[in-house]
Amino acid sequence: MKRTAFFISDGTGITAETLGQSLLTQFENIQFTKRLRPYVDTIEKARNMVQQINAAAEQDGARPIIFDTVVNKEIREELAKANAFMIDIFSSFLAPLEQELGDGSSYSVGKSHSIQHNAHYKDRIDAVHFAMDNDDGARTHYYNEADIILVGVSRCGKTPSCLYMALQYGIRAANYPLTEDDMERLQLPAALKQHKHKLFGLTIDPDRLASIRNERRPNSRYASFAQCEFEVREVENLFRRENIDFINSTHFSVEEISAKILVQMGIERRLK
């Protein structure tokens, strides 16, 4: 079965898409065509959206699903004219909250993702810059400012995990690749020893690592299964010997990896 899903907002659409995507993943037998439509903030744009939605309904032979976080009542009423099943996220949750809190919502557009109302916006940007500046062991002399330092073999997911933790949680995350030389010495590099309490390891299945490395350097020793198996085995032995917590990243998304790391390390997110 095929259905179209629209994520519609008069702001960025991040909230509508995040919640909508989470709900749709529960329906594995349905193939969804997903369409993000941010900044639908005028009646004219809403009417155009209705045309798009009705066209999708005709093409699919089934009503599209709409997840919306539109604040303006008139725009919502216009969207409701479409041939679709509409889930109004704000109305579903704000009314019960207003009743519980005994206070009315401001019904302001885009407050959760705006700069002026987010006191932690600078923290987020600073954390991203920190992750980029301290990627791949480039600048170890700033590790005293890090909340966490990810270690592991090359191409096991350290960089995307650091960037995600920075952007999503405001965590200052650095990463350091363990090389063949480090494995031959059977000990942590000197730059990491004094920050051992901040270290967290990532590992990966050798066959998956070989596949990733082959995309970067095809048919090289670096990408061979034998080399990948050796590096993974030795790094995991190093983690156990040094009592460094680690997880296998093979079957986890970057979101799952980041959440597991913060839980295991007991690190609180900076962005609340």
Residue found under tokens 């596949």: 211
- If we measure between CA atoms, which residue out of 208, 212, 222, 221 comes closest to residue 250? 208
Contact yes or no for 145/151 (Cβ under 8 A): no
State the binding site: 152-159
Contact yes or no for 162/173 (Cβ under 8 A): yes
- If we measure between CA atoms, which residue out of 202, 206, 243 comes closest to residue 223? 206
CA 254, CA 224: separation in Å to the nearest integer?
Answer: 25
- Cβ neighbours of residue 111 under 8 Å, at least 6 residues apart? 117
State the binding site for ADP: 152-159
